[in-house]
Amino acid sequence: MSEVEVPLTLSINESTFTEVYNTSWEKVFTICYSHTDDVEVAKELVQDIFKSLWERRETLQINSCLERYVLRAAKLKVFEHIRNKQLRAEHLKVVAKGSIKESNITEDTIMHRALSETVEHIVGKLPTHCQRIFRMSHEKGMTNKEIANQLFVSERTVEYHLANALKQLKHKLGRYASTTS
């Protein structure tokens, strides 16, 4: 017949605590270190385990061997540490993704403004008639036929001025083409 362990409620006083600390801290450290591979983290976990044991000594009810309780606490503390570490890593990824998106949005906004200002500057230097036709087409969204009717010119003249404006823009905006690809 095997022995049945009868649960006992242990009271933890200073001498009991000192005894369990002296007999168990190396085993607790070994458990923590074997799962974290980090001496400093393992030391912190051991300290947290024994600190918690001491702080809860008056209300804690242990129904098994105190050393077994502390070793089980070490395993749970390690799992908690690993879980928290993974959660922090996932959180940092989310934060990093968000900041990259914000950074890209800010960068895109700045680039858009700079490009718009450059386009406006180039269009402002076009000959008056060419500039007017370009603005009617690209800013007001008018068709070549509508522009020709409003300005009393042929559609061919409108096409000529638009082609000229686009040629100037393409030539002067060449540096933007290499940064956006």
Q: Which two tokens stand for residue 52?
A: 């918690």
CA distance 11 to 19: 13
**pLDDT tens across 113-142, in order?**
888 888 888 888 889 988 899 889 888 888
Question: DSSP for 50-85?
Answer: HHHHHHTTTT--B-S-HHHHHHHHHHHHHHHHHHHH
Displacement of CA 15 from its chain's centroid (Å): 49
* pLDDT score, position 34: 92
For residue 28, pLDDT beyond 90: yes
Threshold 0.75, pTM exceeds = no
Non-local CB neighbours of 106 within 8 Å, separated by 6+ positions? none
Query: Which one, of 8, 81, 19, 10, lies nearest residue 50 by Cα?
Result: 19
